[in-house]
A and B are shown apart, each in its own frame.
Chain A
């Protein structure tokens, strides 16, 4: 075992320490230098932990105050959200977030997964690199750019679709759940595609050879061998897409309309948690019930996304160990 191994056992640790002392013995300056660098590195770690702790503590303090004032049941399922009248019922917000994120998952993640399978298993070799570059670029484009494009092109298209579906006199428009869902699915597809193709590429090549030797075609190999053995990685990819869709703020704010009620159909304006936070926070004075309730909604978002991502991390860690 090498002396610098990070997973040193107890004896290794002692040897390591002796070795270090040996190198620095008789050179107090060197020993001081060594201690200073080590202390600086530890300080950096402590700073990261403290910042994270402060983030959790600040949000929890304000958020739990809101929960105490309003009550968790009312906050998540209450009918009306009207901060100016002191009513904080978050049903429309929670439903809006859940509907857009799940819709985006269905409409965006499935094509992305299929594209990943095609890219890793079937695509011509010359095309792969360029395809990945385009997708990396698309995943890095700012979300407000997607939001602006959707505002200019998607919302009018959705309005005419809504009129075609519900008749010209119905109370429908382009802004709403439908536009947000389409926008979010376009936004998360590149991310899901990239993560899924990474997961598929980690499957050992021997599995594919074995499958081909048994007489399976490339397509059969892709769907019956590669995808099942990479399933954990694929789930991680999809959940990352879900987390991005649920947390997305500005792009959704631009196309969802901002009405604080549960819509009758997908073509009526409604709202999501993050949209409502960014809209109301500008008007809410600090330390009032209005701002506390917003922090409580942020806490809900935080708890959900931390739970989702920690779960996928556990799954992902096992996936990497399993296929390594």
Chain B
């Protein structure tokens, strides 16, 4: 791989120098050429810089809201189900991430630092922070949203967003991986395979609002469940199936034949081979597809408005019951700007957008790391 790319680079350099010497013959052509490639380069760099600056601005604008730890303890309302649990795990994640950043920095400075020390440090800071500073987290991240007054937070929205990710992954993972295993390993050329491929192609092509209408028809109209997290998670799982099945099938097909042949030669059955050799080998690729699909769960709004609603009810704000309704961060951002009446909705929007961008950025980073 590296040999071929370095030879390609050498060939590119050779091609470039030969092309340069040839085009030097025609000076007017060369001038035109240089002008055109400079325009192209500055335009493209400008486009990239626009997005990079926009992303940086988004995070910076909301950072004040998101990073404001409080010196006083925000009291826990005993009438809200699960608030203490939610705060503990959020603090665990926040302090764990901070400690991980510090540990990664320390390991680049002192490369010979033992890995166990770094892990111990992360665990100690995460649990210590979660136990001691659980009630000192930034108010924006733990408070309930407000409709008409300033100072609303996104605690339940953050919880719902992460809960949605867990629920829909719990549905996508077994079904998506099972379907991919079937297509890559068990299926002979049969009618079911071509029907399955057509179904996945169709699913991949649908606008997300159509998924929302489907979920609305089935769960809200037909089954009379009202708005529920379960309906939203089901719709999101369906939406992510084409991505997960496609990537999983690709990574299953990339497993070296020798490994499977060796397993079969040792007397393993085909299913044993698939479960103990093929799937573990392809696991990083599958995981990266799952992480990308979680990023899409964070970002999606239209189907959730139609299946999980746009409200937070106080008593069940942090409840683990999947048959209650509730909005996510993305839906909240839309709702605050189109129907909200709170005077500080610009700040609330900025904070929500910053949390969303950070979450999506983390999933992107993780997926790229896993795919490598």
Q: Which residues of A contact B (CB under 8 A)?
A: 2-4, 6-8, 13, 19-20, 23-24, 30-31, 33-34, 36-38, 40-49, 51-56, 58-59, 62, 111-112, 114-115, 117-119, 122-123, 125, 131, 133-138, 140-145, 147-149, 151-152, 189-190, 193, 205, 208-209, 212-213, 215-221, 243, 246-250, 253-254, 274, 277-278, 281, 286-287, 294-295, 298, 301-302, 305-306, 308-310, 313
CB distance from A154 to the nearest CB of B (A): 12
- Give the distance in Å from the alpha carbon of A298 to the alpha carbon of B215 in the complex: 13
Chain B neighbourhood of A133, CB < 8 A: 368
Q: Lowest 7 CB-CB distances: which A-B pairs, in order?
A: A247-B207, A44-B178, A309-B205, A37-B271, A142-B299, A212-B15, A41-B182
The contact sample of 11 A-B pairs, CB cut-off 8 A, is A3-B261, A6-B185, A52-B199, A118-B44, A140-B360, A140-B363, A144-B334, A248-B207, A250-B301, A254-B337, A281-B216
Q: How many A-B residue pairs have CB under 8 A?
A: 298
Contact A125 B361 (CB under 8 A): no
A34 with B261: CB separation less than 8 A: no
Contact A134–B195 (Cβ < 8 Å) = no
Q: Which A residues touch B305, using CB under 8 A? A: 250, 278
| B79 CB within 8 Å of chain A | no
Q: Once bound together, how far apart are the Cα atoms of A286 and B306, in whole Å?
A: 13
Contact of B19 among A145, A212, A281 (CB under 8 A): A212
How many residues of chain B have a CB within 8 Å of chain A? 106
Could you say which residues of chain A place their CB within 8 Å of the CB of B241? 48, 51
Q: Is the CB of B181 within 8 A of A41?
A: yes
Assess whether B204 is in contact with A309, with CB atoms less than 8 Å apart: yes
Q: Which residues of B contact A (CB under 8 A)?
A: 8-9, 11-12, 15-16, 18-20, 22-23, 33, 36-37, 40-41, 43-44, 47-48, 51-52, 54-55, 58, 174-179, 181-189, 192-193, 195-196, 199-214, 216-218, 220-222, 238, 241, 245, 253, 257, 260-261, 264, 267-272, 274-275, 295, 298-302, 305-306, 330-331, 333-334, 337-338, 346, 349, 353, 356-357, 360-361, 363-364, 368
CB-CB under 8 A from B301, the residues of chain A are 142-144, 249-250
Contact residue among A30, A141, A220, A248 (Cβ-Cβ distance under 8 Å from B269): A30
Beyond A41-B179, A137-B361, A298-B213, whether A54 also contacts B218 by CB under 8 A is: yes
Q: Which chain B positions have C-beta within 8 A of A305?
A: 205-207
Residue of B nearest to A213 (CB): B18
Is the pair B41, A59 in contact by a Cβ cutoff of 8 Å? no
Contact A114 B43 (CB under 8 A): yes
The one of B40, B183, B299 in contact with A141, judged by C-beta atoms closer than 8 angstroms, is: B299
